[in-house]
Chains A and B, each alone.
Chain A
Amino acid sequence: MEKLIDKKRLSDWIAALADWEVFAPALEDGVWAWKPAGEDVRLEHSNVKQPPKGFAFPQREIYFSFEQIKGEAPKLTPKVPETKKRAVFGVRPCDGRAVPRMDALFDSEGFHDDYYWARRDKIAYVGLACNQPVNATCFCKSVGGSPVSTDGMDVLLTDLGDHYFAKALTKAGEALLSVAPGEKPSAGDQKKLKDTHAKAEAAPQRAVNDAAGAPAALKANFDSPLWETLAQGCIGCGICTFLCPTCHCFDINDEVTGTAPMKGNRVRTWDNCQFPDFTMHTSGHNPRESLGSRLRQRVCHKFQYFHENFGMLQCTGCGRCVSECPVGIDIANVVNKVTEHVA
């Protein structure tokens, strides 16, 4: 299904999605954030500071609550989330490409993560193609993506000036688009779409020079001294990882909320390979003590380990870790330097 939607009627479409919770980018404190869609949704964002991964994989998830009453068996109450159907508007193609990567991970090795899927099964992503790179740090094309990629999307919108060209890509996308106001695109609209996409794909970007060769080249350079050199300025914060659309490591803790009786929650929270306690062993030994070893872990996970496990690069080239790093560590530059290094 394809429709040409007048931009002025975007809010009518959102209003028609009565049985959906709709989210869209909004500026909050100078930062693009995902917010419940109000009446004035305009999709004029560059990219949202945080990727949409939190819709299916929130930073904090309660697994179950526990309570120990004296003389009784411990009482455990599962907390598998129950959400309404959610439509997320304005997802950029790099973040769309993160979706199949997260899906693969949370349904792998015979394990289906009920918490992830309870949310994920009810989400539809309404993408927005990038007519030009939204940020100087974008590099989606060089990692197999495209500024008009439909991967992970249920609907893809393309900005054609006064209108969006909308294309449904899945059953959920058809359901969303069926209630949208608009008409069937004409042959002229189709041509305009084709031209817009061609122009978008031709726009120059920064690049990882040899993404296809990266898994093998990184493997060969595991012991390279370059890792420590490139991590020299690293401060060990968690920005790159927490803002990454595909970083998914998590920690599990029991949070005690009361002691008489003992009760609390078992929670899953995002974890971060850049933090000192990420690999801390119970003995006190930390196998990844240096910042170089942590940078290597993150880069190799994106460009080697995930590829070995799932047959695809994990990095989608959104450029957040590049633009947001407080000290200029640049994953495209790191991959290029290490893979082009001849020992």
Chain B
Amino acid sequence: MKPLSIGFVIFTLALLGFSTYQALVVAPTEQTMGDVQRIFYYHVPSAWVAGMCFAVNFLASLYFLWRKSLDADALAVGSAEVGVVFCSIVLITGPIWARPVWGIWWTWDARLTTTLVLWLIYVSYLVLRRFAAGSQTQTIAAALAIFGFVDVPIVYMSIRWFRTQHPSPVMGGGANSGLDPTMLHAFLWNLLAFTCIGICFIVARYRLQKMENALEAAHAELALKGMAQ
């Protein structure tokens, strides 16, 4: 690993320690919800990182289709996988918060449902990659990535309309209307830390994919040489 990236990893870990301290100790306890509200410092930044990953996946897929660059494809795989992980964190931390606060684990409200559909779309992208054969994988995966990304605003719009038509018993807004300055402070530190750790993961996965590509190319070349002899 290059010194620059080691430095960045150390910086990120220090930042993550600091932001955890901010979220769990420094930020005041929420009056009505109690300590469970602190999950918000992890839940929202994870959602942000997931969104960032899916945007990177979309741009990398577009670039791949344009230039057929295998590096862009490696970035697309990396960001999709990291995005699914963070999206899973969002879907797990959400219900943990919702159970004590709303009284139920899950409600089919617009934001929850959109996140779930988003997760389904990118899991299907990863499944397609796993089962696609040979060198066409990158192209068909990139095509699906574009479909997935284009679908997201339509999903959100339609689910919002669907749910406002049939109001559910629990209409939950976020906890973030008028945030206490100390809470906002802790939240922003966590947002920064999660963004950095997200970037670390994407870069690590991107490099791994590039190594796998190089290994595969080397194997192919070796096999060709073997044929020639």
Whether chains A and B associate is: no
Q: Chain B interface (Cβ within 8 Å of chain A)?
A: none
Q: Chain A interface (Cβ within 8 Å of chain B)?
A: none
